[in-house]
A and B are shown apart, each in its own frame.
Chain A
Amino acid sequence: MMPILGSTVSTVTEPSLLPVFACLASLLAIPGILAFRKSPNAREGVTFIAGGIKLALVLMMVPGVLSGKMYEFRFFELVEGVGLEFRVDGLGLLFGIVASFLWLCTTLYAIGYMRAHHETNQTRFFSFFALSLCATLGVAFAGNLLTLYIFYEMLSLSTFPLVSHHGDKKARTGGRTYLSYLLGASIGLALPALIFCYTRSPEGMDFMTGGFMAGKVGATEAAILLLMFAYGFAKCGLMPLHSWLPGAMVAPTPVSALLHAVAVVKVGVFCVIRVVTGVFGTDFLLEVDAATALQWAAAITVVVSSLIALSQDNLKRMLAFSTIGQLGYIVLGVALLSPKGVAGSMLHIAMHATGKITLFMCAGAIFVATGKKYISQMEGMGRTMPLTFAAFFIGSLSVIGLPPTGGFISKFYLVMGTIEAGKIPLLVVFLVSTILNAAYFMPIVFRAFFPRGPTAPFRWDRVQEVPKACLIPILITATITILAFFVPELGQRLAALMVPGL
């Protein structure tokens, strides 16, 4: 049967190899990366070329998708009725653009960071980085639940060597926690839920607007399955399955930046959005009222993680908890089941990604330039690293959700979503969390520029910024964070494709 996404634009599927090539572009870079392991410049050149090709391929799909096409490619049947297949719709493309664009930025940043830091095993690092991007796009373009699951697992495995990159005791513990949470949850919760869905819907598991499970399960079953998926895709960081994320901060900062602000965690929430919109369908969940538990799980995550973030002194850890809270926003938005809430979730994937990656890269830049990683040590550093802290300011504005940054747009949608759904207590959750976000971000920026105690006047020759390779990507993403406020049309239109009645 033909899945129909979006009611305003009539959609047609078109067989195309574009999504396959886009997914494979980074995979095919790996032999190149390995071949040039002796000359770092050529090696990173390969990554850049692959990244450029990948982004170009993804962007080539934009006009088609906006005009209502869905690019589809079916490899072969995996099990009866369910094939390994890609289908690119608005949500998948939105996520694909974000991931492949930020991969380019992060690669540039990683070159600066890894070299300035004299990290070992850089070839292995860039290889697995490329592999995990391949998995990310696989998740973004997955056309059915099984394909999604396969790429989800592939991402967990390919990021494990990145998380425990340093190989020391801390990295090992972090890697262990990372893998045991992610694999444990996906095998223990998501897989059985997936198989249960298959036994109920053996004719196919294609994502579709109405949801392929709609009407095939009762209210209680739907609620339980929904929770099993939301916790099973533990990359979305719902409490109490969140502690892998702060643990994974032992990874080198480029990994934290791309994977733990963008690719990995966003894959988690992306999967939850897919499950809500494509597996069950918002209408069906609304009808049986199955999402209340998920709403509250997300709401608690939002508030508690913001409170924890408030008490952190390690900057990367604080950012990790802030990420958990923002992931909670996304899950909460989609669990509201109202059109604006769902659209807000989808937009927030993109908006939060640009903002948070800026923040992480700033944290890494501070660490590279000064070796400092605690917030309490950062007093007055805005005077030596003005550009970095300016970018940090922009990023935190976006995460708080203030104009003129992209974060405001998605947060606006999310807040409107709560009103649309008539859930005023959840509106309060958003507002409280906004205040908390401001409470943990603003003092950092303020103290960096206006330290307590006497200060020397600012002079440009005292400025000690990080290497250019680190600084340029920070400025790019910061600029985009602002641009996203003024020209959010692309994201809005892609999200609107997915949400009938927006």
Chain B
Amino acid sequence: MATVTEAVGNVTESDLIARAVEIVDQARRAGASDAEVILREGDEFEAQVRMGELETLKNSGSRGIGLRVFLEGAGGTHVASTSSSDLSAKGIRYLISGALQLARISSPDPMQGLPEAASFGRIEGDLGLYYEDVYSMPVPERIEHARRAEAAALAVDPRIRNSDGGSFDAATGHRVLANSRGFASSYRSSYCGLSTSPIATGTSGEMQRDYWYSSARSISKLATPESIGLEAARRTLRRLDGRKVPTQQVPIVFPPEIARSILGSMAEAVNGDSIYRGASFLTGKLGEQVAASTITIIDDGTLPGLFGTTPFDGDGLPTRRTVLIENGILKSYLLNTYTARKLGLASTGSAVRGLSGNPGIGSHNLYLPAGNQTPEQILAGVTSGFYVTELLGRGINMVTGDYSRGAAGLWIENGELTYAVQEITIAGNLKDIFKNITDIGNDLEFRSSTASPTLRIDGMMIAGA
């Protein structure tokens, strides 16, 4: 049995694993050919301050259990799932009988079933996912941090007169996965975050809001409230007095916090679930040129301390590093066990398991490695163009690649950022967008689980006045 205790563990850790294994055994005794249990415990804290006054305090914890049972039948495996917040003996019995009853009505599917025992495992060693210190600050000090971040933003400029507040939040979680083929393991994770969202008023009376944040797994790695407030204020002020620009085609520069959403679209396009059913424009494109030859995109679940890191995926497979695109060539899809079987490929350890249903697919730490141009050098190469600071809506069609979203930002003139632009859209097709990435910045930073340096993309249409 691949039972492993975390570097940072305690007594309840192994208790919870034992409980999950017990429920798996109970489901097998009740008639399941195979069974899989996920147990989740978590707690959260949130303090919100607005205009210097405490507005909201929230503090609670909860837990949940999800069960999947498998029944071998003629023509394949039946599967069904149940979930609940009731971990009592009676609740568990109900969970098991319900799942078995449901499984009998599902269709036999030859591709369904738990992974082979040999594929289970976890990344060993301390991955830096859990720090007890996220709750170490006394509550009044957490409130004070939120207040200081907001106050720093409000103090920057008289045009900042209102605020959507400052907030401090923290959470810890404990996740256990166990199945009847011998996998049983768990990990803890922690999170804390500090943010503020100031509101500025422009010359016409129009208001603009932006925000900035810091988040970390340990409180010691959180940025200072003052630095967050200053950055939030800078971002808000630069949006003031925006105008619409005429409809035209110009180069568009995506700073890291916006460029990462383009990478997110790529992860969606290589999602095995869309690939095997032909619902992605990248279906069948393995080995083909799908991006500019300078583009490499990697998904890595093993990088210590990062937000997308986990020791194992939702199927119980160890996470790994997967090169999705290398020098513009599509090298791999993102696959869980089921979609890998459908496509006749190996899983990339990308299963994402919620409490209910079958595992989905997601990226871990998805990134585009840094290039060698500074953001300033990239801007300097643009005579007339658009620098995006906000994208609105989800106008992306993964089947066709059509991409059309609302945007706000700054106009680039002769390599310099000038006036604010708003109420426009940017549009193109993802098939072309990745091929038209002309510049890659050197400013890669893992502020969240998807990270990109600054990118310049040519050939997209701006619709405005």
Task: Say whether A associates with B.
Answer: no
Measured CB to CB, the residues of A under 8 A from B are none
Measured CB to CB, the residues of B under 8 A from A are none
